[in-house]
Amino acid sequence: MLAPCTFIVFGATGNLARIKLLPAIYHLEEVGRIPDGSAIVGFSRRKFSNDEWREHVASTLKDKARGGLKNEVFERLSKRLHMVSGEMTDADSLQNLKTYIDANNLPKNLIFYMAIPPTQYTKVSQAIADTGLHQEEQGWRRLVIEKPFGYDSESAQVLNAKLHEHFTEKQIFRIDHYLGKAMVQNVLIFRFANLMLEPLWNRNYIDHVQITHSESLGISGRAAFYDGVGAMRDMIQSHLLQMLTLVAMEPPPNLDAESLRDEKVKVLKSIRPIAKRAVNAHAFRAQYGAGEVNGEHVQAYLQEEGVPAHSTTETYAALKLYIDNWRWRNVPFYLRTGKRMAQNSSVISIRFKHPPQQLFRQTQIEKIKPNWIILGIQPHECMRIEMQVKQPGLELNTHTTSLDASYCTHTDYQLDAYEALLLDIIENDRSLFLRYDEIAWAWGVVDPVIKQWDIERDYIHTYPAGSWGPPEVNKLFDRDDHYWRDALDQKED
Ligand code: BG6
């Protein structure tokens, strides 16, 4: 039986709480995974009575609850919901929170969830400490920090040091919500539960790896956050590098948090540093212009509300990396991400080498296509191995067929990453959260690029919204036969 806790959400009326946290809490309630006696306290500048807050949550959940809001589930949840209004960086307001917890006899195990702008993290943790709420006298404390963790290596280090003034490493949960996605976790299962893959999973057989995250949406009104941050910091430093570590890591001795994170750190440490003069050969950035997405005209990034007229913030970024270890030496890892692209899609594509001998040269098969392993992360979760087979008929022709693992479903039921992660926080399982050294090494990988880009602010390539990005990015490829796998299904030519 898990001990009850009080889950405090700073920024309870913000975007993250509305879109992700409250629905995840509701779905955990639905499946009975919130420990009995636990409370959820919203903390927000907006003034609400508890009843108004419960109504607000109900209306937020109406279109977010899977299969519609169920009354009996909401009634159970509603009993846990509390609201404390105040200024989150102000010691008096935090004192009110403390008094409220005591007066209502809420559980003394506290989770502080920072669903707030990153610039507030240190101020809020300071305010928590000023009231003594961080002290584990009557229960445990856990502090949850969203990405981005810092803005570059130096700022991440400063942030970490500030948080450590009041919280220990064991109390800090740094979220990268990609690690909560079912298919991202499945990468580990795919690799380490299937022995047949291991002998092939290295530079002798794998030609290159691609990791793509594309979104058809633009910045969705988030100019204040996004402009100046850009795609490299927003997506590649965190989510895409995390996916890379899972593809590239050595099998850990066991699945405990430290062993897993040790192996991920080893990968990040082995990434060949990008020299300043080589930034343009390794990285590419661009910004969306006007275009058409799903049949609708959409405006350019520069026309989005709140974006400065001459912003050169990248909405698309691509990066070529090499991992200098025995397994991966000289195998390129191509990473790319973009907003306002043709489709929403996150896919890891692994291309194998050609067979050593072209046995079919004298036949109609001029060039055999290589094998690919495709791991679809979202929206279509799938695992697929593409093979060449003979086409029926008298001639010796091939076509591509694929072995699809049964995970390849187009189901409407998709567990959200936050459900898994919130439960892990409650259960104190830290395997899917980032240790600080992972974050520091990940910043080390992208730092040379973002520093160079910050200097070169006079020009940025553009791509039409609704496209797969600018063709100029192809200069990153090591060889002429490398190309981006845009869609899950490869076109037969
Ligand atoms: C967030 C980024 O971390 O991840 C967003 O800040 C991005 O810009 C989002 O849209 C993508 O997450 P998901 O789960 O929708 O793929």
What would the pLDDT profile of 327-341 be if each residue is shown by its tens digit? 999 999 999 999 999
Which of 235, 238, 414 best tests ligand 1's pocket when mutated (most atoms within 8 Å of CB)? Answer: 235
493 falls in which pLDDT band (50, 70, 90)?
very low
**Cα distance from N-terminal residue to C-terminal residue, the chain:** 58
- Return the residue whose CA atom lies nearest to atom 5 of ligand 1: 234
- For the chain, the three-class secondary structure string (H helix, E strand, C coil) is CCCCCEEEEECCCCHHHHHHHHHHHHHHHHCCCCCCCCEEEEEECCCCCHHHHHHHHHHHHHCCCCCCCCHHHHHHHHCCEEEEECCCCCHHHHHHHHHHHHHCCCCCCEEEEECCCHHHHHHHHHHHHHCCCCCCCCCCEEEEECCCCCCCHHHHHHHHHHHHCCCCHHHEEEECHHHHCHHHHHHHHHHHCCHHHHHHCCCCCEEEEEEEEECCCCCCCCHHHHCCCHHHHHHHHHHHHHHHHHHHCCCCCCCCHHHHHHHHHHHHHHECCCCHHHHHHHEEEEEEECEEECCEEECCHHHCCCCCCCCCCCCEEEEEECECCCCCCCCCEEEEEECCECCCEEEEEEEECCCCCCCCCCCCCCCCCCCEEEEEEECCEEEEEEEEEECCCCCCCEEEEEEECCCCECCCCCCCHHHHHHHHHHHCCCCCEECHHHHHHHHHHHHHHHHHHHHCCCCCEEEECCECCCHHHHHHCCCCCCCCCCCCCCCCC
Domains, in order of start, for the chain: 6-146 (3.40.50.720), 179-476 (3.30.360.10)
Work out which ligand 1 atom sits closest to the CA atom of 222: 8
What would the pLDDT profile of 26-75 be if each residue is shown by its tens digit? 999 999 999 999 999 999 999 999 999 999 999 999 999 999 999 999 99
386 falls in which pLDDT band (50, 70, 90)?
very high
pLDDT for 364 equals 65
Annotated catalytic residue, options 56, 82, 134, 239: 239
What would the pLDDT profile of 401-428 be if each residue is shown by its tens digit? 889 886 655 555 567 899 999 999 999 9
What's the CA-to-centroid distance between 221 and ligand 1, angstroms? Answer: 14
Which of 149, 178, 239 best tests ligand 1's pocket when mutated (most atoms within 8 Å of CB)? Answer: 239
Which of 215, 216, 378, 439 best tests ligand 1's pocket when mutated (most atoms within 8 Å of CB)? Answer: 215
Residue 30 Cβ < 6 Å to ligand 1 = no
What Å distances lie between residue 336 and 32, 126, 439, 463, CA to CA?
39, 37, 19, 14
The rounded distance, in Å, linking the Cα atoms of 460 and 78 is: 49
What would the pLDDT profile of 243-262 be if each residue is shown by its tens digit? 999 999 999 999 899 999 99
What's the CA-to-centroid distance between 15 and ligand 1, angstroms? Answer: 12
Structure tokens at 230: 């850009």
The rounded distance, in Å, linking the Cα atoms of 473 and 224 is: 27
pTM of the predicted model as reported, rounded to 2 decimal places: 0.94
What's the CA-to-centroid distance between 440 and ligand 1, angstroms? Answer: 21
The whole-number average pLDDT for the span 184-189 is 91
Work out which ligand 1 atom sits closest to the CA atom of 215: 10
What's the CA-to-centroid distance between 465 and ligand 1, angstroms? Answer: 18
pLDDT for 412 equals 54
Work out which ligand 1 atom sits closest to the CA atom of 346: 16
What's the CA-to-centroid distance between 124 and ligand 1, angstroms? Answer: 24
The whole-number average pLDDT for the span 122-132 is 96
What's the CA-to-centroid distance between 358 and ligand 1, angstroms? Answer: 43
Work out which ligand 1 atom sits closest to the CA atom of 217: 10
What's the CA-to-centroid distance between 339 and ligand 1, angstroms? Answer: 10
Residue 215 Cβ < 6 Å to ligand 1 = yes
- Return the residue whose CA atom lies nearest to atom 15 of ligand 1: 215
Is 239 part of the annotated catalytic residue set?
A: yes
The rounded distance, in Å, linking the Cα atoms of 397 and 388 is: 10
Work out which ligand 1 atom sits closest to the CA atom of 147: 3
The whole-number average pLDDT for the span 466-489 is 93
Question: Do 286 and 462 meet the contact criterion of CB atoms below 8 Å apart?
Answer: yes
Residue 314 Cβ < 6 Å to ligand 1 = no
